[in-house]
Amino acid sequence: MFISDVDGTLTDAGMYYDERGNEWKKFNTRDGKGLSFLRAKGIKTMFLTAEDTPIVARRAEKLKVDFVYMGITDKLAFLEAFFAQHPAFSFATTAYIGDDVNDVPAMKRVGISAAPADAMPENTQVADYVCHLPGGRGCVREFCDYLLHSD
């Protein structure tokens, strides 16, 4: 299982609004390609975010992400319940990338964790791998490549 936070990880953490109040997010296509490489190897993917917006659902649908959970504030508690209900998955066999403090407890429990280059210090301190690239600029692709090409 590969789990990615969204804002600050798949995006640059910016919240863009137009004059009508419509929200926009910028995603990096290279991150999407990294997720497709994981899927080709049989690795399931998940977006796990505290935000609850149709933009995330649309991006996940386009990328064929296996699991999408939005509005999750306690990510560790959510994953404990998820793994209990889905015994084919576990913390030990999960990779997780996140950029902010609400990701840290889950990052500490998974088999391998990563943080974007511009993540909060709490994340980079606990991450097994700190990306060279920042959030929204290809860090998810970098972590996918790292996982696929490391022994």
Q: What is the pLDDT of residues 107-129, one digit of tens each?
A: 999 999 999 999 999 999 999 99
7 among the known binding-site residues? yes
99 among the known binding-site residues? yes
Q: What is the CATH number of the domain that holds 131?
A: 3.40.50.1000
- How many other C-beta atoms can be found within 10 angstroms of the C-beta atom of residue 146? 16
In this predicted structure, what is the pLDDT of residue 21?
A: 87
- Number of separate domains in the chain: 1
The boundaries of the domain holding residue 92 are: 2-149
Whole-angstrom Cα distance, residue 42 to residue 134?
26
pLDDT in tens, 53-109: 899 999 999 999 999 999 999 999 999 999 999 999 999 999 999 999 999 999 999
Indicate yes or no: pTM above 0.75. yes
Question: 100-123 as b/e, with b when 16 or more CB fall inside 10 Å?
Answer: bebbbebbebbebbbbbebbbeeb
Q: Give the mean pLDDT of 127-147.
A: 97
- How many residues does this entry show for the chain? 151
